[in-house]
Amino acid sequence: MPCTSDNSDCATLSSVVRSPHAGRAYDPGAVQTVAVIGTGQRAGLTLDEIKPLLSASPDDTEAIDRLREVADRKLPKITAQIERTKLVRDWLEIAARCECPSLDESSPCTIAGAGAWPRARHEG
């Protein structure tokens, strides 16, 4: 949903001040907000998952618990993604060294066709 003046779910950066050099200066809280959002996004969190973290106070143990819950949900997914990525890397390394004249059915090449994925050795 786009942010509008009547949408309380939208967050804005506060305390934007124009510097003498026509730049913007943000208070440390706004800088921290952007840092939390950026870190969360790089970790694969959605904005809905990040939002409760932004409203947490320093002594908010529930915010830490929420972060742990999100991390516990995300870890198996990212672990599986890493494993798939490693298989792709391994196959690409093999394919990069392939010197087979053909990838058709009669070829001894094992990098193509059914069962080739995720073969770790190249026999062609």
Parse the chain into domains and list their residue ranges. Answer: 17-97
pLDDT at 52 over 80: yes
pLDDT at 67 over 50: yes
pLDDT at 79 over 90: yes
CA proximity to 122, closest of 94, 101, 103: 94
Q: Classify residue 52 by burial, with Cβ atoms within 10 Å: 0-12, 13-18, 19+.
A: middle
pLDDT at 120 over 50: no
Cα 110 to chain centroid distance, Å, stands at 33
